[in-house]
Structure 1
Amino acid sequence: MCSDFEPLGKSSLFTILDACKASTRKSLQGINYFAAEAGEAFDGIRKMIEDKVALHNDSARLIENLKRARFYLKSDYKVHVARSSNIADHCCVYALSDPEKRDFAQDCDHEHNESCAECSNLTRTLNEIERLLEETEEDEELLHRTLKKFRSYREAIEAWKAHLLRSINQDLCRENLLDKLSNDEIYLNLDWAMKFLPIKSREPQSEFFGKRGI
């Protein structure tokens, strides 16, 4: 250590620590494959648009709408979802009710007469991309393969959206249980603890199993 080195004062060090706070990075390996597959789906659809010469005039707008939809699902969608909502995409009771089995359905006490601009943007953009793919591809066999790939991407995105809603509904149930706990009751949450060797931030479960370190 240098003898003439003078460290910063305590106040300066605390100021630096306050401005550059430590954060815990969570690995999402093998936990949320819905998010991993949806992320790959958004990237896949974007590549389909960029590779399609016939969509060149609309590519910038469609890609921007996809980015907007992806960001919404990652951020504000979870805030907008509620147990009861006049927007069908945000209403847990409506979304989680089985339309065919009454034992697994519940009637809403309100009308779904409102719409969400961001949810509509996602649906409208995906519909438009599918329509443009159908209109611009002349080869029948290539069109079949293209639509099959696109629809698998779309299913992954919609599955992620459904997963987010189910997760929020589960959290609402947990909060409801905590609110109703009496003074002589406790809430016990048991979960699996895993030790694994991190490889990347996100990965599907198919890549998670069989690795070393578990």
Structure 2
Amino acid sequence: ISNSLRLQRASEIIFMFTRIMTDKGLEKLMFSSSTMFKILSYCSATQRKASVCVDYYYGEAELGFEDLERGIDFVLQNHGGSKGWKDATTAKMKEARFYLKGDFRLHTKNGSRVADHCLIHALSDPNDAQFSLQCDSPTLPNPHKHDLKCGRCEIVK
């Protein structure tokens, strides 16, 4: 089991697996959730628990999502709103959390036509030419334009 999967809880792994199988139209080949939990409980790899200490940005992201959840509760209590709105907003936030903790990492690469997945674009400073690269520069091994969008990244925004 890869280290990136060892950072995920069993429910997150099952959620990602279910999404992939559904996207590929292979729902009928899936096990039930209880069977998948049982398989993961017998898996020899243990879950890494110290990632928050090592990778502080995971911890900061978790705190950010907790703040957003408290904000949703505050809006609901003080400004009205329906339980349906809260449930829908919380579900979108949960999906965003799973995506950012799991699949997003798999999509990023040095040169991507999706700006949100392009490491060159992300690490370039638009205000300092010494720390900036143009992704369509012919000097790069894989010059490209950012002419595609990722639907899941757009939802997170």
The interval holding the TM-score normalised by the smaller chain is: 0.5 to 0.7
1:82 maps to which residue?
A: 109
Contact 2:51/2:58 (<8 A) preserved: no
Find the counterpart in structure 1 of residue 99 from structure 2: 72
| TM superposition shift of 1:50 | 2.3
- Alignment coverage as a number of residue pairs: 105
The answer to whether 1:122 aligns with 2:149 is: no
Whole-angstrom distance in 2 between the partners of 1:116 and 1:36 = 25
Specify the alignment match of 1:52 in structure 2: 75
Q: Residue in 1 aligned with 2:42?
A: 20
2:121 touches 2:134 (CA, 8 Å); kept in 1?
Answer: yes
In the superposition, the TM-score normalised over structure 2's length comes to: 0.60
Kindly state the Cα deviation for residue 61 of structure 1 after the two structures are TM-superposed. 1.3
- Superposition pairs of residues 1-214 of structure 1, within 5 angstroms: 20-26=42-48, 27-28=50-51, 30-53=53-76, 54-56=80-82, 57-109=84-136, 110-123=144-157
Q: Supply the distance in 2 between the matched residues of 1:112 and 1:28 (Cα, whole angstroms).
A: 32
- Structure 2 spans left out of the alignment, 5+ residues: 1-40, 137-143
Match of 1:112, SS?
coil
Q: Give the TM-score normalised by structure 1.
A: 0.45
CA positional deviation for 1:35: 0.7
Please give the alpha-carbon distance, in whole angstroms, between the structure 2 residues aligned to 1:55 and 1:92.
39
- Bigger Rg, which one: 1
Distance 2:153 2:114 in 1: 10
Using the aligned pairs only, state the percent identity.
30
Shift of 1:30: 2.5
Whether the 8 Å CA contact 1:49–1:55 is kept in 2: the answer is no
When residues 102 and 113 of structure 1 are mapped into structure 2, their CA distance, relative to the original with a 3 A threshold, is: same
Shift of the alpha carbon at 1:29? 5.2
Counterpart residue type for residue 111 of structure 1: K
Distance 1:58 1:81 in 2: 32
RMSD: 1.8
